[in-house]
Structure 1
Amino acid sequence: MRKIFLFIALLWCFQAAAQNGNYFLSHYSPGENHSDNVCFDMVQDPSGMVYFATRRGIQRFDGRNWKMITGQGSVYSLQLTSDGQIVWAGAAGFGKLESNGFGDQRLVTLSSETRDVFECVVIQRTAYFVTETQVFVYNLDSNKTDIIPSTNLTGALVGIFELFGSAYLNTERGGVIKIDGQKFSKSGFKFPENEEVIFSCAGDRQYLIALSDNRILLCNENQKIREIKIQDSSYVDASVIVSGSFVNKDLFVLGTLRGGMIFIQTATGRTQEIINYNTGLPDNEVYALMIDRSQGIWASHEYGFTRVAPYLPFRSFGHYPGLSGNLLCATSFEGNVYVGTSLGLFKLEKQDVYDEIVYYVDVEIKRSGKTSEPVHEKDLPETPPTTETESKKKSFWKFFKKSKTTSPVEDKAPLKKDNETTAPKSEEAPRYQKIKKTERVLRASQFVYKKVSGVDAKVTQLVSINNSLIAIGLGGAYEINGVAAKPILEEPVRMAYASRERQTLFLSTYADELKTYQSVNGAWLYSDALENLDDRITSIMEGERDELWFLSINKVYRLQFSGKTVAEIETIDVSNPKFDEQLGVHLGRDIYLVNSEGFFKLDRSKSSFALLDSLPKPLHYFAGDGGIFFNDSHTWSTFGLEGQQNLKLMNLLHDIRYVNQERNTENLWVITSENELYKFFGNRFTPYEDGFPLKLKSVTGNVTINKREVFELDQEKSALNIEFVQPDFLAAQAIEYRYQLKGLDKTWSDWSSQNDAVDFAYLPAGDYSFNVQSRDIFGNIKEFGAVPFEVLPPYWKRPWFYALEFFVFAALVMLSFRLSTRFRIISRLLSLLTIIMLIQFIQTVIGEMFSTKTSPVIDFFVQVVVAFMILPVEGYLRNLMLRSLDSKSRLHKFLSPKSNLASGGDEAVP
């Protein structure tokens, strides 16, 4: 059901009207330590982790952190098996990616002496790995590998792809062939000769296929092939296709060498969207594409990776040509988009825009008889890029094998029919030379910004009143008509408020003056009704019964009107120690005020504002259509506004510095500190994914795993770092974590985005259980199962050492009894030593059992109490052992041969 909703949302999104903006883009880069961003392939595992095949190895990304998994060379291709395992092909051969119990991963090589495996595919439980001369067929269940060598008929192997559960090869001489068990066979598909399959992508019972001549084919389950007639074929040809994929059954995307990403409707071939440098893509040269599990489209390029999210209710308006300066405000007026910047005011208008495409064509060299005219070096055109220089661009390994450069305007061979044969080639092939050409390609759906004449200074606010748009800024106040401006007030204006009930425009100037204007017969007439209110007014709102509220830095003015005159003025002091700009909102009969100290409610009886403890202190706050949007460092919320079902998606944007709500809608204009402009559709249905599970990323420290599969470490080296992650590519930085270490903590930690990694510098001996939870931007909480671990005490505090001590004490006791008959002094010393050691052993055991581990002073008093408790035991044991030794000594003396009793005398022993 969720997929159906996703399709409906995507379809609605793609069919939206003009001036709907560009798709939402997220950019990622590994950073300075990973400057080589050349990526050959991408894949996402079931847990949400994204893996990139690069020159240094496999790059792993979870939305926040990067991890390079190095091997013995470059990795060129990645594939995901049915059980979620990743296999790879690269310079060192082929293998798989394995994990240990601590979250670490490593590259395992399955091949022995094989090198330069440039591509692989996985079909069911079989993996196919391709070199120039061999195909390795690896069974994932039996771990056995069969080898199929190339032949003279096939020539070098160029690439591999999958169609309807079978593997097919691009070959140098034999065209497209099929891998049939342990041999090659005819493909059964009538592809044009000398054209390779650039990619194939499975869809809903059909496959999308791209050929090296930039044609796009659809192949259904009956193996019938239909060519998609692309309307912007000249742009596609000039851009050169290197990768592609279905977005849904009605839309697919192409990654190109020179033109960025092109979204095309499957049924009509019409271009839906072009994502290139002009619309926010850092580079038009796309290396590879991937569709992730949340319907996002990933593109790799020289500057890193870009994720396109067409289903999000954000549309970008900041990348159309013509816009300049720092963005400060934006609004929609009568179906048009206006943006105020530090350099003036701009209007978005439709205009025919042409892209200049540079390409090379093969021109046949004319021959004179049997000999051709020599071509001098000075007559040759500019040298086009060689195969070697373009190898990185042309999907790398696939384009390594091409013997000719694809010309964007060369004639395309028709699809072969079943009964069609190929004409024999002439013995003497014609000679060609490269000619550089430039073509202008019309982009008719492009919009551009045009500057509004007459406004040449910073524009900070846009308001509408009486079907007029008013621009406010350092140049003053202007009435806007299309791309022309008419001045109302030509002095710097700080803010404006348009009272629709009173049909009045209020202007607060930088001279701390409040000026009012009314529109009469198309002219703005000045009124001096409030010329005595001299203060820095930052916000104005309307109350009830002809009330107007004017907010300054530390005061609030209530003006009661009677008709057009002011009948009463009341001044209320407000606590604002940080001198923030204050906003107000009127809800029912109540007046509310907000600044960085919190939300305040007016007590009319006391003429003062009281702090509302039920609401948090806002970090950022903006005025809405009758309410307030605010962020409390955790999420975005509203006060006095209803609806806004998608508001939590505002957490996707970083450092928002401007929010403006369109009147009578839930749509917002948002500007970020990165100078990005978005239109946010608050009421548009957006299909949300459940999110990926919380994952144990790593456990670092002197840790081992015991037989009970429990983490184990010594107390002397108990430093421990536990890192968790919930893979997310919408708002990874906004995901918050909290944890609890049972055995040490009784409560959970606070929610924080920094709690994904927890360090413990020292842990006392004992059994512990680590629990962690994550909370995404929608408030969904996920919990990872408890991670048990044990901190082992020093060896002298372990049970086996106590047992050893007990046996030593027993041996000493036995030895003292043995020596008591002949070596009485030594026996007494051994007995006393045994008693002391035994008492100390008992005291140590009891002290460990009752140790508080909170304060050394308290532990000292506990040990004193224990010593007093076992003191009687010590005396009793000492007397008992000494009495036993004396008795045994007298008995031995009585029974000795020298005694009278032993010799039969009459003398008795007393």
Structure 2
Amino acid sequence: MSLIKSYFSILLVMLSFHLLGQEKKIGLPEIKNYNRIDYKGDTQIWQINQDKRGNLYFANNKGLFQFDGSSWRKYALPNSGFIRAFKIDDSGKIFVGGNAEFGYFKPNSKGKMKYYSLSKLINKNATKIISIIWKIHSYNDEIIFQSFTNAYILKNNKLKILEAPYRFQFSFKVGSKLYFQDHKKGLLEYKNNKLVPLEGTTILNNKEIWAIFKLPDNKLLIETINNGLFIYDFKKILPWKTEANEFMIKNGALGGTTLKNNLIVLNSATNGIIICDKKGNIIQHFNKKKGLQNNTVLTSFEDNKNNIWLGLDSGIDFINENSPIKYFGSNHGISTVYASVVHNNNLYIATNQGLLYHSMKDIFDDNNFNLVSGTSGQAWNIQVVGGQLICSSNKGALVIEEGKTVNIIDSNGYISFKLIPNKPNYMIGCNYTGFALFEKVSNKWKYKNKLEGFYGYPFSFQIKNSNLWFQLDNLIYKATLSDDMKRFKSIKTYKNLSQRDKGIRSIQQIKNTIYFQKNNHFYKYSEDQDLFYEDKKISNLFKNIPEITEIKEDDYGNIWYTFKESLGALMKNKNGTYNNIITPFSNLTGNLVSNFLSVNTMNSENTFIGLTSGIAYYNLKQKNNFEVKPKAYIRSFSYPGDTLILGNGQKELENYKIPYKSNHVKFSFSSPTFENLENVEFSYQLEGFDKKWSSWSNNNSIKEYTNLREGKYKMKIKVRNSYGIQSDEALLTFTISPPWYRHTLAYIIYTLILFIIIYLIRIRIKIKIRKSKYYERLEQRRLYLEKETKIRQEQYELEKEIEKLKNDKLKTKILAKDKELVNNSLQVAKKNKVLNTIINKIKDINIDNFDEATKTQFTKLNRSIVKEVNADKSWQDLEKHIKNVHYDFLKRLKEKHPNVSSRELDLATYLLMNMSTKEIAEIMNISTGGVELARYRLRKKLGLNKKENLTGFLMSI
């Protein structure tokens, strides 16, 4: 009975939650901050608007800033003054107003914004000096520029002045009507070129109006800066007694805007903005604590995707109201969330800081989540088991009631708990050392015993009959409980689910059946056959889904799964079919807690999802347009010498032609998709150059190509938003003209030149053939003469060779004769030597003892020998012959070494003739020692060192 009461209580909470959800919004959407460094302007933003292509514009103290989702552009007034107001018309003109200046920006043919002043049309001598333009309106066919002193009306390119009765404050266009506030006349309606006072509005003369909104029943909601909000029924003005009014009185009002869903944004001076309905109930509140850059909001704007832009006193903020995902994060005191549950009208979340909770009654307030006493530290899980709220944490298994720890069942650290099927009074808990059994006694859980036989802790487990199934180290474990439930009587492991699917990815329970999953194939276990077999029906549900890592079925039959750090869901229909939903959860990619898929589906519309940095709230029924195709634009096209800004309202050409010298082109891309810009990705292809599309990237909004050849090119670009929705292609066609030397006219000239060259070559060939024949005859004649000359030359060479051979033979004979002559001369010298010896010995004979006849004969013999010696002239002939034969050698030697004596010349000649030292000594009639001395003196005069050969040197001369 208590279990029924518990579920009934939860149902009531869900119902109240659902009803509250119709009025107030839970959690915070994504908020993106842009500071002055991002857009490179001044701090204050005065007005925001959007053109037909989705580009956003911001009025700033430094000028008008344009943001296309990828880049910022600045358009300044000539006097570099600030811009307080602007208006974009359908033609692309942007009317702007600043300090003593107003006019409009209009794109030229190249898309560059050019400013045209209208204030110069005013005769400044005929009226008051123009002050600051605060408001600009498009009313019927007029453009109205409003300052505090006058309104300047532009119609049919003519300007006229509407003077203030006393002094204008601000003006407001509400629906099809235009209202002015005058400091003495109250509210005035502008119609038929006149200002008509409204009844009962002079009560506002001392109250500065910043905004007027249209309410049902033909009423107006008037917002004053310091006095709050008032209702006007065109007869009287009464305070709007609502919580929105109380907020604005307390925090000061600075205007606002009406949203398409009939809600109103009210800007405050000191506490951000509130979003309220037209009954004054506050739906949402955003301030600095919740993510804004500061609390002073000067302007607000809803874009074409129903998201909110805020112009602050310092910077720009973007609120992604269109997203079905909202967040509770660090601004609510939350870190990593592992599990969540709603119990007794409280939302509990298990985090790495402990178990936190927040009352569902004030879930919309700014208050932080509170820490459940006694749970500080790591909390792994929070579950309602058997009607009791149990927290699995480092500090043990804790029983929680009304935000407090009322009992510690077991002090061991626990991961999770599960009831044993068919035994509702028993549950099993997984702790850091294994498993433990708990029993319900007197409606309270009590620790019973540890389950012996297993040590370790898996992150999750499933129970069927008496078997516990879990995975650990890529193995499947089946642990079977003993009958007394004190231990595991057996533990069996399985490596593979099948031959095809090795190992295990996840174990989960779907439709009260345990499934084992690998590669998106789902298996059941057969107890009888002890094997796993595939359930084709469940596998087919995930056939077209990426490989799954974790799966969880919620209480409504929806199947949640994770893949590649992303989240998806198979939402169950009433007829039992499923719708696969991935897109809304794309922004959660990378923020899910690994191995702890935390999905808390409270009802068919509201779900809480645990993240690494808080908890996300998903509203399935929230209307949004995130599945609308984004639009991709080629924002600029530039090349050396020129830049084209595309999409500023100018008439765009179908084909751009650029010269070949400017074949270095650059493109910038954009998409007016401002949600989760860091996940917006571009892909491009230059047809004619790239063979395929580039890979998706969020860092390629600019692309350059260099040294392109001439030809026609088509630049194609597409974008994919953060939800994975892909745009249609955007195209830009351009042609690069060829260089002059590859131009068509150049090729015609080349062809003509080629024909002329061929003609000239043909003529030249004919002339060359004639000349060739002529020269051929000459060549034949030349060859004949050359051959004849060669024969004669060969004859001459032969004769010369013969003559040389003759001379060589003669020289050989002469040398032989020289040698023979030398030998003969040596023989004569030997003979003379013998004769001289005989003469000397004869002189030693005493002839006194001879008789006269003998003396006479002896004397006659002596004279005869002496005569023979003196009469021999062979030696003189030898010297003469040698000098004649070696005349040239002696001449060269004398020229080179003039200090060589005639005696040394003779020695050089004998050495040249390769005569031995003994032979030279005999010829020169000196001793062998004298020959060596003579050689030494000759070497010295010739300047030879000891290592140089004298004979070789002489032969080289």
TM-score, structure 1 as length reference: 0.67
What's the CA shift for 1:542? 4.3
**Greater Rg, structure 1 or structure 2?**
2
Q: What displacement does 1:158 show?
A: 3.0
Question: What residue is the counterpart of 2:351 in the other structure?
Answer: 341
Check conservation: 2:221, 2:231, Cα contact below 8 A.
yes
Maintained 8 Å contact 1:539/1:582: no
Q: CA deviation at 1:484?
A: 1.5
Alignment partner, residue 741 of structure 1 = 686
SS at match of 2:728: strand
2:906 match: none
Taking the aligned partners of 1:331 and 1:771, their CA distance within structure 2 comes to: 49
Q: Which amino acid aligns with 2:600?
A: E
- 8 Å Cα contact 1:479-1:488 kept in structure 2: yes
Is residue 585 from structure 1 mapped to residue 508 from structure 2 by the alignment?
yes
| Residues 352-376 of structure 1, C-alpha deviations (whole Å, 9 max, x = no match) | 9xxxxxxxxxxxxxxxxxxxxxxxx
- Which residue number in structure 2 is paired with residue 842 of structure 1? none
- Report whether the alignment pairs 1:158 with 2:89: no
- How much has 1:243 moved relative to structure 2? 0.8
Which position in structure 2 is the counterpart of 1:730?
675
Check conservation: 1:349, 1:450, Cα contact below 8 A.
Answer: no
Maintained 8 Å contact 1:286/1:300: yes
Please state how far the C-alpha of 1:103 moved relative to its aligned partner.
6.2
What residue is the counterpart of 2:296 in the other structure?
Answer: 285
Secondary structure in 1 matching 2:747: helix
Q: Residues 346 and 451 of structure 1 are in contact (CA less than 8 Å); yes or no, is this contact kept in structure 2?
A: yes
1:488 match: 409
* Separation (CA, whole Å) in 2 of partners of 1:884 and 1:603: 98
Match of residue 570 from structure 1: 492
Amino acid at match of 2:103: G
CA contact (8 A) 1:169 1:177 kept: yes
Q: Cα deviation per residue 1:455-494 (whole Å; 9 max; x = unaligned)?
A: 1222232222111222222222211111221212323345
Aligned to 2:229: 216
Indicate the residue corresponding to 2:267 in structure 1: 255
How far residue 277 of structure 1 moved from its aligned partner, in angstroms, is 4.2
Aligned residues of 2:335 and 2:614 also touching (Cα < 8 A): no
Residue 583 (structure 2) pairs with residue 648 (structure 1): yes
Deviates more, 1:560-569 or 1:125-134: 560-569
Give the counterpart of 2:247 among 235, 239, 249.
Answer: 235
- Asked if 1:146 corresponds to 2:164, the answer is no
Following superposition, the deviation at residue 40 of structure 1 comes to 0.8
* TM-aligned CA deviation for residue 92 of structure 1: 6.8
Could you tell me which runs of 5 or more consecutive residues in structure 1 were left unpaired when the two chains were aligned. Answer: 1-11, 353-442, 814-833, 836-875, 889-910
Whole-angstrom CA distance in 2 between matches of 1:115 and 1:54: 17
Question: What is the alpha-carbon distance in structure 2 between the residues aligned to residue 715 and residue 542 of structure 1?
Answer: 74
Counterpart check, 1:763 vs 2:776: no
> Aligned pair 1:464/2:399, yes or no?
no
SS in 2 for 1:294: coil
Task: Tell me how far 1:325 sits from its aligned partner.
Answer: 5.7
Work out whether residues 467 and 480 of structure 2, in 8 Å CA contact, stay in contact via their aligned partners in 1: yes
> 1:550, CA displacement in angstroms?
0.8
Q: Structure 1's 679 and 762: CA in aligned 2 closer, same or farther, altered over 3 A?
A: same
Structure 2 CA distance for aligned equivalents of residues 117 and 18 of structure 1:
39
Q: What do the CA deviations read for 1:645-675 (whole angstroms, capped 9, x no partner)?
A: 76421223464234522267554323444x3
Whether the 8 Å contact between 1:208 and 1:218 is mirrored in structure 2 is yes
Distance 1:754 1:304, change over 3 A: same
| 1:39 aligned residue (45, 48, 52) | 45
Q: Render the CA deviation track for 1:4-60: whole Å, top value 9, x for unaligned.
A: xxxxxxxx9885279963453422314744474421111122222222212222233
Q: 2:134 aligns to what?
A: 118
- Structure-1 separation of matches of 2:418 and 2:706: 57
Letter in 1 for 2:297: V
Q: Report the equivalent of 1:244.
A: 256
The one-letter code matched in structure 2 to 1:648 is: T
* 1:68-102 alpha-carbon deviations (Å, 9 max, x no partner): 44442322112232456432222372233434666
Letter in 2 for 1:53: A
Asked whether the equivalents of residues 63 and 727 of structure 1 are also in contact (C-alpha less than 8 Å), the reply is: yes
Letter of the structure 1 residue corresponding to residue 65 of structure 2: Q
Query: In the superposition, relative to structure 1, how do residues 38 and 568 fare at CA in structure 2: closer, same or farther (>3 Å)?
Result: same
Distance (whole Å) between structure 2 residues aligned to residue 18 and residue 300 of structure 1: 26
Structure 2: distance between partners of 1:164 and 1:795: 61
Equivalent position amino acid for 1:769 in 2: K
| Residue of structure 1 in register with 2:287 after alignment | 276
Q: Is the 8 A contact 2:342 2:348 kept in 1?
A: yes
One-letter code of the match for 2:462? M
Q: Kindly provide the CA deviation profile for residues 314-347 of structure 1, in whole angstroms up to 9, marking residues without a partner as x.
A: 44444786x4665554332243201233332222
Which residue of structure 2 aligns with residue 848 of structure 1?
Answer: none
Per-residue deviation at 1:264? 3.3
Name 1:679's counterpart in structure 2: 617
Moved more, 799-808 or 707-716: 707-716
What residue number does 2:469 align with?
549
In the alignment, the residues of structure 1 paired with residue 467 and residue 708 of structure 2 have an alpha-carbon distance, to the nearest angstrom, of: 64
Give the aligned length. 706
Provide closer, same or farther for how the CA distance between residues 171 and 624 of structure 1 changes in structure 2, counting only shifts above 3 A: same
Q: Which protein is richer in helix relative to its size?
A: 2
1:629 pairs with one of 556, 561, 581: 561
3-state SS of 2:598 partner: strand
SS at match of 1:539: coil
Q: Does the 8 A contact of 1:344 with 1:452 survive in 2?
A: yes
Q: 1 CA distance for matches of 2:211 and 2:248?
A: 15
Name 2:435's counterpart in structure 1: 514
- What is the CA-CA distance between 1:547 and the residue it aligns to? 4.3
Structure 2 Cα separation of the partners of residues 312 and 57 of structure 1:
31
Amino acid in the other structure paired with 1:454:
G
Once the two structures are TM-superposed, the CA of residue 772 in structure 1 deviates from its matched residue by 2.8
Distance in 1, matches of 2:696 and 2:504, equals 29
Cα deviations by residue, 1:760-794 (Å, 9 ceiling, x for unpaired): 34433321222233344555443134321223333
Instruction: Report the 3-state secondary structure (helix = DSSP H, G, I; strand = E; otherwise coil) of the residue aligned with 2:250.
Output: helix
Amino acid at match of 1:879: R
> Which residue identity does 2:102 align to in structure 1?
F
How far off is 1:122 after superposition?
2.0
* Match for residue 298 of structure 1 among 309, 323, 345: 309
Please give the alpha-carbon distance, in whole angstroms, between the structure 2 residues aligned to 1:211 and 1:472: 53
What SS does the aligned partner of 1:693 have?
coil
The structure-2 alpha-carbon separation of the partners of 1:631 and 1:144, relative to structure 1 and needing over 3 Å to count, comes to farther
Specify which of 54, 58, 77 is matched with residue 52 of structure 1: 58
Letter in 2 for 1:111: S
Decide whether the 8 Å contact of 2:345 with 2:359 is kept in 1: no
Residue 372 of structure 1 corresponds to: none
Aligned with residue 668 of structure 1, among 607, 632, 636: 607
| 1:303 Cα deviation from its structure 2 partner | 5.6
In structure 2, the residue matched to 1:137 is 153
Amino acid in the other structure paired with 2:345: G
- The structural deviation recorded for 1:131 is 3.2
Are 2:57 and 2:64, in contact at CA under 8 Å, matched by a contact in 1? yes
- Partners of 1:249 and 1:607 in 2: how far apart? 57
**Deviation sequence 1:663-716 (CA, Å, 0-9, x none):** 67554323444x343221335565667355333322233367899641334555
Gap change, CA 1:639 and 1:256, over 3 Å in 2: closer
Whole-angstrom CA distance in 2 between matches of 1:877 and 1:711: 43
Distance between the aligned counterparts of 1:183 and 1:245, measured in 2?
27
CA distance in 1, matches of 2:191, 2:25: 50
Instruction: Give the secondary structure class of the aligned counterpart of 1:24.
Output: coil
Task: Look up the equivalent residue of 1:570 and give its one-letter code.
Answer: K
Aligned to 2:478: 558
User: What one-letter code is carried by the residue in structure 1 that aligns with 2:146?
Assistant: V
Unaligned runs of 5+ in 2: 1-16, 123-129, 498-502, 645-650, 772-957
Task: Name the SS for the 1:789 alignment partner.
Answer: strand
Give the 3-state SS of the residue equivalent to 1:43 in structure 2: strand
TM-score in terms of structure 2 length: 0.64
Q: 2:106 aligns with which of 89, 98, 111?
A: 98
